[in-house]
Amino acid sequence: MIDYNSPVIGLSEADGGVKINCRDTSISAGKLIACGGVMADRLVRMLGGQPEFQIVPFRGDYYRLSERHNQLIRHLIYPIPDPTLPFLGVHLTRMIDGSVTVGPNAVVNFSREGYSRFAFAWGDSVEMLTFPGFHRLLWRHFGSAVKELKNGLSKRGYLREVQKYSPVLTVADLQAYPPGIRAQAVSVEGKLVDDFLFHRTTHCLVVCNAPSPAATSCFPIARHIVDRLSGDE
């Protein structure tokens, strides 16, 4: 069953299972695997936990290269990553339809579910700004944060990053493409969690952080999660 537009408003464990309360309905199950993304820490609190982390949303802006450059890139091209950050940097990706995408960057977003460049949600923003780990994170990576923000607001700044390994590109070659939101767990100490992080209760397992490449490793990750919930790990 896939139930769209049904935000979870409560979780409770009792009678050998778990009850999931949604806005318009409720679901009972013996076991629950919660992959809540940007809402992972809130799901932990619904289960009575006190997470020592908070999900900080990072917006990743993408562009698509103009068609005349589709044959320019034949493989993935990545910058040398910063070992202190879990982000891979702006890279070029050849898609299965032959088009080439550019991105993403990593800009702190003031809305967990806002995909526009200037999205803002009061509740999300207050929660983030009052979290001590967020301030420590900014202090630790202030230079990178300013650079990412600048490039997120300036298409030319973004272009300069791409031109480091594809200098023939121009601003006109960067065409609009949908952005993404990365759910990044940040510890109270202000560290970006760069490994898998789970919260386990009797009947539930909440996936709190899943680093890259979660998609290409989806099957072994799924086995790992099932084994954890069943008690085999």
Domain assignment present for residue 123? The answer is yes
pLDDT at 217: 83
* 14 and 62 part of one domain: no
Over residues 124-171, the pLDDT tens digits come to 999 999 999 999 999 999 998 999 999 899 999 999 999 998 899 999
Enclosing domain of residue 114: 54-187
Do 48 and 68 belong together in one domain? no
**Which pLDDT does position 131 carry in this prediction?**
97
pTM of this structure = 0.90
Biggest CA-to-CA distance, the chain: 64
Q: Which of 169, 187, 205 is the last residue of a domain?
A: 187
CB-based contact 128:110 (threshold 8 Å): yes
Is 2 part of a structural domain of the chain? no
Task: Please state, in angstroms and rounded to a whole number, the distance separating the CA atoms of residues 155 and 174.
Answer: 8
- Check pLDDT > 90 for residue 1: no
Q: Are residues 41 and 60 in the same domain?
A: no
CATH of the domain at 160: 3.30.9
Res 214 pLDDT > 80: no
In total, the chain counts a number of residues equal to 233
Average pLDDT, the chain: 91
Residues 60 and 46 occupy one common structural domain: no
Residue 89 clears pLDDT 90, i.e. is over it: no
User: Six-digit token pair at 108?
Assistant: 């702190």
Q: Are residues 178 and 80 in the same domain?
A: yes
Residues 216 and 160 in one domain: no
pLDDT of residue 232: 60
Q: What is the pLDDT of residues 59-81, one digit of tens each?
A: 999 999 999 888 888 888 888 87
- Give the separation between CA 106 and CA 174, rounded to whole angstroms: 17
Give the rounded distance of the alpha carbon of 48 from its chain centre: 24
Answer yes or no: is pLDDT of 231 > 70.
Answer: yes
Q: How many CA atoms lie within 13 A of 103 on its CB side?
A: 25
- Give the pLDDT confidence score for residue 87 in this predicted structure: 81
Buried b (16+ CB within 10 A) or exposed e, 67-84: eebbeebeeebeeeeeee
C-alpha span between 73 and 67 (Å, rounded): 11
* Residue 90 sits in the same domain as residue 157: yes
* pLDDT given at position 51: 95
DSSP letter for each residue of 165-186 = T-TT--GGGEEEEEEEEEEEEE
Bridging pattern class, strands 32-34 and 53-65: unpaired
pLDDT of 132 reads: 97
Backbone φ and ψ for 176, nearest 5 degrees, come out as: -60, 145
User: What pLDDT is recorded for position 46?
Assistant: 96
Give yes or no: residues 39 and 67 share one domain: no
Report phi then psi at 227, rounded to 5: -65, -40
State how many domains the chain has: 2
CATH number of the domain to which 217 belongs: 3.50.50.60
